Structure 1
């Protein structure tokens, strides 16, 4: 075969391969029907909006390594325990993960730590051979650190989400109070605020609104929100709304008072943080700025004395 024919055949093969890759990429990235419809369903809870199933190499890897990961996750669950606490933190973090999926992620993080420790140990044994027992202990410790690090990250996610909810609460409470004072019902005011706002608290109230529209009583829905949340402010807000709706007390005044209390609490916390940071701010002044100033003041004198002698 001539070189020109060989080049033409290779070019044709490369073009066909690129066309196949491009066609498969377009087919994978094409949104499905439920993905196009879900954004228009406001009453559907965000936790029900599951991501599309994974296909391709990821599904193959899941089919191969999934049973082993599930058995390892069950082992981690038996060793660590604390399933109710983990479920509560998963609910408070706003993620759609189940307890078993979280345990699988812990195993994955532990395997990453194990792999890093094993790679470092192998690199060290190539330069200076050592006994394998310390290496195995280091790998086991790295696995345990990875598992605990995932748990710590979940706690950090919960704290970050609750801090965001606390920052959003005064604005949301004021909007609800204004809507109720304008003559809307509590459910209508909640719907208006959820549609006009965004954030963690707004999504939490969207889930509550979805439960109300599926038939759950309003007072019971707010009581459930008070029981599930980890913030005392949001719990008092939910209890106040439930009591106001049951007894007919003015809801707008309750919401205005709660928003004012939260703003005052945030102001006090900011003042306390400033007083705690005041001591930390003195560290660079005492150990960096002051010695530099003294050095600039006395250094010319020392130089003059040394030159005079």
Structure 2
């Protein structure tokens, strides 16, 4: 964040030109003046939608975990749009079926309502998928970034300096989270508070322990490099255990085609020549 961006909210506007000479706002949709007329109505609907938001805190946390900078109200609006899309698609198929003369009113109503509800739920499910994918990428990046921070701290860098070096030399989801922490720190927020907020945003236990170790090291002055190396090694060991567990599950799953596919064919090839010989009278 630059200096001008930090002090801009405290400065008063000195633009004295006539409003008649100002350029008009760009339209976000191709509807032109109709958009500007209906924009206040949509804003009122958006505010009213926020009153019916069942869990804004949990939704906002999931959006933060997915890496989105949108409010829970915007997400609920997207859910309504997905529901409207499902409603329209199902209605189109119902109309096509009606034109062909194969439509049941009860089944049509169930399909339309179910499609709208399915679109609403599907957006929430897709958000969960995005959260899990992002957490997987973060865990894949974590050991390397932790060792890089350990090297920086061991070379004499502070915790903030190590975060800065990691952000400048790495790209990925976790490095972007570190950049956010560093930006908040440079804007005046204490480093410990920024780390605690990141720890509250994530559900990944290794990252929570990692942040707690940095917080303890910053507050009490304990050696940080050894803690970072130990945590990086723990994450690598956890990844190895998960890989071995997945391999064991795949090995059991491979028994299904072997028992029900390959083994019956082997028995058939072994028994069929004998049966053929008996039938021929040899």
Q: What TM-score range do you get, normalising by the shorter chain?
A: 0.7 to 0.9
Moved more, 118-127 or 232-241: 118-127
Give 1:132's aligned residue. 105
Equivalent in 96, 114, 118 of residue 141 of structure 1: 114
2:214 maps to 1:232: no
Moved more, 64-73 or 204-213: 64-73
Distance 1:61 1:103, change over 3 A: farther
Question: Could you tell me whether the CA contact under 8 Å between 1:77 and 1:83 is conserved in 2?
Answer: no
Distance 1:237 1:227, change over 3 A: same
**RMSD (Å) for aligned C-alpha atoms:** 2.7
Q: Give runs of aligned pairs for residues 1-309 of structure 1, distance below 5 A.
A: 55=28, 57=30, 67=41, 71=45, 78=52, 81-308=54-281
Question: Could you tell me whether the CA contact under 8 Å between 2:199 and 2:208 is conserved in 1?
Answer: yes
| 5+ long unaligned stretches in structure 2 | 6-25
TM-score between the two structures when normalised by the length of structure 2: 0.82
Give 1:22's aligned residue. none
Deviations 1:257-299 (A, max 9, x none): 1111111111111112222222111111111111121122222
Give 1:3's aligned residue. none
Distance 2:86 2:47 in 1: 16
Question: Could you tell me whether the CA contact under 8 Å between 2:206 and 2:235 is conserved in 1?
Answer: yes
| 5+ long unaligned stretches in structure 1 | 1-37, 45-52
Distance 1:175 1:188 in 2: 12
Distance 2:212 2:32 in 1: 45
Distance 2:42 2:200 in 1: 36
Distance 2:50 2:89 in 1: 20
Once the 2 structures are TM-superposed, how far is the Cα of residue 304 of structure 1 from its aligned partner? 3.0
Distance 1:141 1:290, change over 3 A: same
Distance 1:300 1:59 in 2: 80
Moved more, 271-280 or 178-187: 271-280
Distance 1:131 1:62 in 2: 39
Q: How many residues align?
A: 259
Distance 1:174 1:261 in 2: 12
- Partner-residue secondary structure (3-state), 2:114: helix
TM-score between the two structures when normalised by the length of structure 1: 0.76
Question: Could you tell me whether the CA contact under 8 Å between 1:69 and 1:107 is conserved in 2?
Answer: no
Question: Could you tell me whether the CA contact under 8 Å between 1:69 and 1:104 is conserved in 2?
Answer: no
Question: Could you tell me whether the CA contact under 8 Å between 2:29 and 2:35 is conserved in 1?
Answer: no
Question: Could you tell me whether the CA contact under 8 Å between 2:56 and 2:72 is conserved in 1?
Answer: yes
